[in-house]
Chains A and B, each alone.
Chain A
Amino acid sequence: MGFAEQVLPVLAPKIRLALDQLRRIVPGKWAKLEEIRLRAEQPLQVEIGQSFLVTGAGELTADPEQALKVGGADLLRTLQLIGGNSLYTLEEELKEGFITLVGGHRVGLAGECLVARGTLLRLKRVTSLNVRIARELKGIGGVLLPFLAQEGRPLRTMIISPPQAGKTTLLRDLIRSFSNGEGLSAPAKVGLVDERGEVAGCYQGVPQLDVGIRTDVLTGCPKREGVFLLLRSMGPQLIATDELGRPGDLDLIEEILNTGVGFITTAHAWDIKDLTRRPSLQHLWVQGLVERVVVLSRRLGPGTLEGVWDGRTHEPLLTQVQRLEVTR
């Protein structure tokens, strides 16, 4: 089943129809679809390398006048379809601001918030909705693997990149490789704390995307609790988490350091320079807490590898800029 069968049915009929046309007219573009963006009273937008508007007949355009206008009702309808017409089952998601679909695609939400005593209770009215297509690109991490393990031991690794450069896709593939032992001297038991459900794309707790045969997934759990739960209960050799970003997330690395297991995660930074400028990340870099830093960008398109650095000596290990490709 392609992503079209997973994503189109949850869109409001009008939008579904337009995008289904788009799929027919330009299948090549459709196959590279990254995002679908719905905003109340704004034209329908898709992200395919760059941002395009879509007409009611499914043609790509740059003219907002010609594009299909998304109404508030369309957003509501889409939200209802996503929630199986049972919005009450999405209370937690409306608080977190995202929902995971079958297939691991992620729907981000924004709009009017309901707040009590300064805390966000949930989104009251959704006026912006963003469907990010989850991609499985098996084998793209192949060239990196020799750098990320030493004598069969997974190293503490951090992938940094700007948004939309393929962090999560690469992380997923590396987890899969470690878990299956592909391209390594031995497989590793992986414990994945997938707080936002984006890596394994869990739908009702079951991974929709391939994260390997030796991976235990803890989904929707705060990182700190999740990591220690897995360390206690599953005895992983490699801990993986999705993007670090909240205060306290980075302290977690220091704590894991003491347990002696490998670690792989992602963080948001433009490049090594940017990394050294961010107060929270700088600490990791200066102290050499992370053994490998992988840098991605969009220079040659999503999934451009800028290089691999040794986090302790700060020496580059691989500097050849290349597009990560599916090798399998």
Chain B
Amino acid sequence: MKMIGALLVMTASTFAGWIYSTLLKKRLTLLNALIQSFQWLETEIGYASTPLVEAFTRISGRTQEDVQLIFSTFVEALQDPAGLTADEAWQHCIKQNQETLPLKAEDWALLFDFGRTLGTTDREHQVTAIRQTLERLQLQTTGATEEWKKNERLYRYLGVAGGALVVLIFY
């Protein structure tokens, strides 16, 4: 009986450590995918002057699945018959996905800011806003990479070690 309990505790904590470390990895992947998508967006708006719905639909067709989720929620909100502005639609799509996607509050904050001027200024300003967002995303990615490198193993060890500790104490 004790043996089974100990095993359960070990599995659970190892798993928890593993989840934490993959979350780091997932955030990094998502940030990188966002960077690529915003680069595409820059081309769509800056060179082709594509309207938002078309641009975001096109990009979400070829991007990573989490970004796809963000972008397609945005497109849906934009097409809402109530007539939301781009900013409102963008805030809505962030709120919808904030809980489920592995981004940090500061990542969401920068995306939030991006929505402020979305679609309301001329092409030049739109491109500037996209570039600023890209720079900030790149900064976040650098931070995320470091964090991932530093903590990936740490979290896994901590998971295993934490489990072992609990087992030792209570066994």
- The answer to whether B83 and A84 touch across the interface, beta carbons within 8 angstroms, is no
Which of A27-35, A87-95, A271-279, A309-317 forms part of the interface with chain B? A87-95
Known: A85-B119, A91-B123. A13 touches B51 (CB 8 A): no
In the assembled complex, the CB of B109 is this many whole angstroms from the nearest CB of chain A, namely: 22
Q: Which of A80, A88, A89, A122 has the most CB of B within 10 A?
A: A88
Q: A80-B119, A80-B120 are in contact. Are A88 and B83 (CB under 8 A)?
A: no
Would you give the shortest CB distance from A241 to chain B, in whole angstroms? 27
Output the least CB separation between B73 and chain A (Å).
Answer: 15
A88 near B121 with CB under 8 A, answer yes
| Residue A86 is within 8 A (CB to CB) of chain B in the complex | yes
Contacts of A81 in B (CB 8 A): 83
Taking CB atoms, residues of chain B closer than 8 Å to A91 are 49, 122-123
Q: Is B67 an interface residue (CB 8 A)?
A: no
B85 interface residue per 8 A CB criterion = yes
Interface of A is mostly: helix
Let me know if A152 is at the binding interface, CB within 8 A.
no
Chain B contacts of A86 at CB under 8 A? 45, 50-53, 55, 86, 119
Find out whether the CB atom of B53 lies under 8 angstroms from the CB atom of A84. yes
Are B83 and A87 in touch, CB under 8 angstroms?
no
Q: Is the CB of A77 within 8 A of B83?
A: yes
Whether A9 contacts B81 in the complex (CB less than 8 A), given A86-B52, A88-B123, A89-B51, comes out as yes
Interface size on B (CB < 8 Å)? 22
Most chain-A Cβ atoms within 10 A of its Cβ — which of B49, B50, B121? Answer: B49
Pair A88/B86 contact, Cβ less than 8 Å: no
Q: State in angstroms the CA–CA spacing of A88 and B122 once bound together.
A: 4
Q: Report A-chain residues with C-beta under 8 Å of the C-beta of B89.
A: 85
Distance of A213 Cα from B125 Cα, bound (Å): 42
> Does residue B24 face the partner (Cβ distance < 8 Å to A)?
no
| CA gap between A166 and B82 in the complex, in Å | 34
Kindly list chain A residues whose C-beta atoms are within 8 Å of the C-beta of B121. 87-88
| Distance of A9 Cα from B55 Cα, bound (Å) | 21
A300 CB, min distance to chain B CBs, angstroms = 39
**B85 pairs with A87, CB closer than 8 A:** no
Q: Is the CB of A13 within 8 A of B120?
A: no
Residue in B closest to A122 when the chains form the complex, CB atoms: B122
In the complex, A181→B121 CA distance in Å?
A: 47
A9 nearest CB across to chain B (Å): 7
Interface string of A143-186 (1 = CB under 8 A from B): 00000000000000000000000000000000000000000000
User: Do B49 and A89 touch (CB < 8 A)?
Assistant: yes
Asked if A16 lies at the interface with its beta carbon under 8 angstroms from chain B, I say yes
Residue of A nearest to B53 (CB): A84
Let me know if A239 is at the binding interface, CB within 8 A. no
Closest to A88 in B: B123
**Which chain A residues have a beta carbon within 8 Å of chain B's beta carbons?**
9, 12-13, 16, 77, 80-81, 83-89, 91, 122
